[in-house]
Structure 1
Amino acid sequence: MKSIKLANSPITYFISGTEHTEWILFIHAAFVNHNMFKAQFEYFQNKYNVMAIDIIGHGQSTDTRKGDSIDKMSEWIFDILKVENIEKIHIIGVSLGAILAQDFANRYPNLVRSLACFGGYDINNFDNKMQKDNGAKQMLMMLKAVFSIKWFAKTNKKISAYTSQAQNEFFDMNILFPKKSFMFLRTLNSMVNKHETGKRNYPLLIGCGSFDIPMELEAIKQWKINEPNCRVVVFENAGHCANMDVPQEFNETMENFWTSAE
């Protein structure tokens, strides 16, 4: 994939092809990078124009300036679409990527062709207790990272993936995450419960793996209650990053979602 540095920002994005009609944007999970979607790039690049980004502080998006933070990601994505002359785009977000995908959809709904969120939660209706529990677990993980990124990555891979292959791939990316990049995640909560969910003019797909943590499975259930028109998928034999655990099933699910939506 061709890498491009977005002007006046820390963000690097990646493109494969521009000759197809429709675009897909992949937004990765925390502590890894765009390569967590390599199986999706290979599958879709002959059918769609494929784009991915490295979130601020991750991968090749570490050339930051004072004031840069994760709550600016939607603006930077908007700038990328403007540079590439993209009018509408399918967005897939996993975990942290699912939060950023929703934030972008909240701000720029007319640019969204479809939205798919996996291993995430409804940021417009996130239960306060669940939010506190999630925050406490994230803080514990960060404390491990302070002592040792390797220790953190070994623990995180078991939470983030189910199969041995996916866990090893996740670990290899996680081990590269710079400790200093934790500071860019501080403003993440500013996106939560900030907007009300209006009528979506695009289809929504949500889901996770059957071996994801119980809190995530509950979050998906609550999201479906909040938005009964959305579609839900729970991937068997998969964990938090289902696209890595069961790539073939994931890819076919996405293709069926887009085809049926049309």
Structure 2
Amino acid sequence: MKRSDSITKRLAFNNAQLTYYITGDQQKETILMLHPAFTDHHIFEAQMDYFQKSYQIIVLDMPGHGENQVAGAKLSIKDMPEIINQLLSENGILACHLLSVSMGSLVAQAFADRYPDRVKSVIIVGGYSIHKANERVLKSQRSEGFKWILYILFSMRKFRSYVSAFSCCTDQGRAVFARGAKHFNRKSFSAMAGMNTFFIKKNTPMPYPLLIVIGEHDLELIQAAARELHRLELHSELVFMPGAGHCANVDAPHVFNLLACHFLTAHADR
């Protein structure tokens, strides 16, 4: 997607200004895309190009990411459900589809948990549930956090290279991820606080259509969590994508776009 094809808008929230972009057909249903940690909305370039003729698309850089560095503002990822709610209201959108990757999938579920009437469907890529079957993943991520600290202390360049290689398995995917990650710095970490508030144990089924997408080269831990979530969510769909890693949408965009299109079409307004 060329920047000239989109409308740049700003949202005022908690004394901060957040930039976001809208493209596509304003008369069609809306897809809101939520990126993974450390990179930004550019990771959805292939999806924006593919879907903009059939949907209205909104992308934004979450606090501490991309163009939305919010140093000094009392704003973090934990505010994202309320930010999304305000964004939809300001644009006259009653409900939307959520396409979310990794950390973005946690935000998508938290928003859907607090504002269920505003969600038409959820696509989770490389993610796991905030409500169930997540204990092993959370424990592993705490351990991974110690490794991040070592990288961060000595070299942000090496940290960005490490998370790009970890998140994608193709040169194409890593290049896109790294381009979005260049804005992420040491101060950005402060905006990632408070995500633990998303995790609320529930045994009830998720009240929205759910597509779970996992790359075949993603961690076995994430794959196992996806299988267990699919088992617990009887009406969910689970797809393992060949030739893709954690961020399957950018490693294998053509295949992913076809899968997402099929799912979204099945759950479109009638």
The question of a shared fold, defined as TM-score above 0.5 by the shorter chain, is answered with yes
Match of 2:11 in 1: 6
Match of 1:170 in 2: 177
Amino acid at match of 2:175: N
How do 1:96-175 and structure 2 match up within 5 A? Answer: 96-175=103-182
Note the C-alpha offset of 1:127.
3.5
Q: Distance in 2 between matches of 1:152 and 1:97?
A: 20
Match of 1:249 in 2: 255
Note the C-alpha offset of 1:70.
1.3
Q: What is the root-mean-square deviation in Å for CA atoms of aligned residues?
A: 1.6
Match of 1:23 in 2: 30
Amino acid at match of 1:211: H
Match of 1:34 in 2: 41
Q: Given the two structures, how large is their TM-score scaled by the length of structure 2?
A: 0.91
Note the C-alpha offset of 1:63.
3.3
Q: Is the 8 A contact 2:106 2:127 kept in 1?
A: yes
Amino acid at match of 2:10: K
Deviations 1:43-95 (A, max 9, x none): 11111101111100111111354421211111011000000000110101101
The alignment covers a number of residue pairs equal to 261
**What's the secondary structure of 2:12's corresponding residue?**
coil
Amino acid at match of 2:8: S
1:84 correspondence with 2:91: yes
1:230 correspondence with 2:236: yes
Q: Is the 8 A contact 1:90 1:113 kept in 2?
A: yes
Amino acid at match of 2:247: C
Q: Is the 8 A contact 1:10 1:56 kept in 2?
A: no
Q: Given the two structures, how large is their TM-score scaled by the length of structure 1?
A: 0.94
Match of 2:52 in 1: 45
Question: Which piece of structure 1 moves more, 58-67 or 85-94?
Answer: 58-67
1:186 correspondence with 2:193: yes
Q: Is the 8 A contact 2:215 2:247 kept in 1?
A: yes
Deviations 1:94-138 (A, max 9, x none): 011011000000000100011111111111114434311221113
Q: Distance in 2 between matches of 1:63 and 1:131?
A: 26
Q: 2:219 aligns with which of 207, 213, 226?
A: 213
Deviations 1:202-249 (A, max 9, x none): 311112100011111111012112212100111100001111011111
1:73 correspondence with 2:80: yes
Amino acid at match of 1:24: I
Q: Is the 8 A contact 2:66 2:181 kept in 1?
A: no
Note the C-alpha offset of 1:195.
4.8
**Structure 2: runs of 5+ lacking an equivalent:** 1-5
Q: Distance in 1 between matches of 2:98 and 2:201?
A: 19
Question: Which piece of structure 1 moves more, 9-18 or 228-237?
Answer: 9-18
Residues 212, 83 of structure 1: alpha-carbon distance in 2 compared, 3 angstrom cutoff: same
Q: Is the 8 A contact 1:10 1:62 kept in 2?
A: no
Q: Is the 8 A contact 2:25 2:53 kept in 1?
A: no
**Structure 1: runs of 5+ lacking an equivalent:** none
Question: Which piece of structure 1 moves more, 42-51 or 119-128?
Answer: 119-128
Q: Is the 8 A contact 2:70 2:191 kept in 1?
A: no
Residues 105, 197 of structure 1: alpha-carbon distance in 2 compared, 3 angstrom cutoff: farther
Question: Which piece of structure 1 moves more, 90-99 or 64-73?
Answer: 64-73
Amino acid at match of 1:128: E
Q: Is the 8 A contact 1:95 1:241 kept in 2?
A: yes
Residues 2, 256 of structure 1: alpha-carbon distance in 2 compared, 3 angstrom cutoff: same
